[in-house]
Amino acid sequence: MVNIYDFEESHTEEALKLATSSYDEERSFVAALPETKSIPDLTWFAENNKGVAAFENGKMVGYLCAWGPFENAFGCNPNTKGVWSPAHGNCAVGGNKVRVYREMYQSIAEKWVDGGALVHPITLYAHDQTAIEALFSYGFGLRCIDAVKLTEQRKIKYPEGVSFEELPKVEAGLITELNNGLIEHLGKSPCFLRRCKKSPEMILNESMEDNIRYFVAKQNSEIISYIKASDEGEHFSTKAQDMMNICGAYLPHEHRGKGIFDTLLYYTENIFVTEGYKRLGVDFESFNPTAYGFWLKYFTAYTHSVVRRIDGD
């Protein structure tokens, strides 16, 4: 019999052991993931009263916790609240994993909804098919993917008439038109992501404050594509000192099919190699067919973020 309890501080030590085991299991499938010596602290989850722990025969077999609730979930609506359970915020082990995930979600979802959170994203490890199956049957669908690869020095054949460079930080605003082109692309079918366009000042400030780097392709001195990179992503593993992360990219439709973006990726990766980075990560929406088809040619998925949207009034 599975017993569900509120997640408390006394549960954190055992939960950390489960989280470490879960991450190590994913590393057995994805060799490019870095070794981690510590999982982020789980104490906050015990303090916000938005998590549960599962026990079977007196032994912890799972936990499900979340950050939030927060406003404007996924930027979809200012009035829509959501929560988020990151990869280290949930886990289940043993032979009854499907049942454990289902019972944990059934228990905690009531608190989430009572708190006004109607969007429930949960990040699972991509090779944990049992966990994915458990939540799929409860109305969840795939939305976001984290993927990773080992970096390598690449030979580049540059497209004729196209040059490549890293923008100085003070010039980050030059990618504004392309950034807003990406926002328009994501607003169309099948993504339907409604996000506000940004000004050059907003992009410049973000670059300065968050240490964002931009790598671009130019044709006739005009920027026609970019890759946005950061030293941190959403999963705790992306904070590894030898890892860089792609957190945005765009190439307009009229320039596709010419090898420009592949070359930009190779160019960017070669710079990271010379700087000593051994791993490169990327995150993207699974329902963006362009991104899904491109990134998984080069990267291996290690998380699947699944989401359920509760019908409101």
Q: What is the pLDDT of residue 313?
A: 53
pLDDT at 234 over 90: no
Cα separation, 311 vs 44, in Å, equals 28
pLDDT at residue 14 greater than cutoff 70: yes
Q: Please give the single-letter amino acid code of residue 247.
A: C
**2-147 belongs to CATH 2.40.50.140:** no
Q: Does an H or E element contain 145, and which? A: strand 141-150
Residues 6+ apart with CB under 8 A from 121: 73, 74, 82, 83, 84, 85, 143, 144, 305, 306, 307
Kindly state the average pLDDT of the residues 26-42.
Answer: 92
Phi, psi of 246 (to 5 degrees): -85, 125
Domain boundary assignment for the chain? 2-147, 162-277
Range with the poorest average pLDDT among 198-202, 262-266, 269-273? 198-202
Second CATH level (architecture) for the domain 162-277 = 3-Layer(aba) Sandwich (3.40)
Rounded CA separation 116/310 (Å): 10
| CB neighbours of residue 106 within 10 Å | 12
DSSP line for 183-207: HHHHHSTTT--------HHHHHHHH
Residue that the structure tokens 């008439």 belong to? 161
Work out the pLDDT band at 78, boundaries 50, 70, 90.
Answer: low
Residue-level pLDDT at 74: 65
pLDDT of residue 312: 62
Check for a shared fold between 2-147 and 162-277. yes
Q: pLDDT at residue 69 above 90?
A: no
pLDDT recorded at residue 73: 66
Local confidence band at 77 (pLDDT 50, 70, 90 cut-offs): low
Burial 109-134 (b: 16+ CB within 10 A, else e): bebbbeeebbbbbbbbbbbbeebbeb
Q: Quick one: average pLDDT of 257-264?
A: 96
- Fill in the amino acid letter for 232: E
When mean pLDDT is compared across 68-77, 84-93, 166-175, the lowest value belongs to 68-77
Separation of alpha carbons 206 and 173, rounded Å: 10
R_g of the chain, CA atoms, integer Å: 21
Region 143-157: mean pLDDT is 96
- Written as six digits, the tokens of 46 are 């015990």
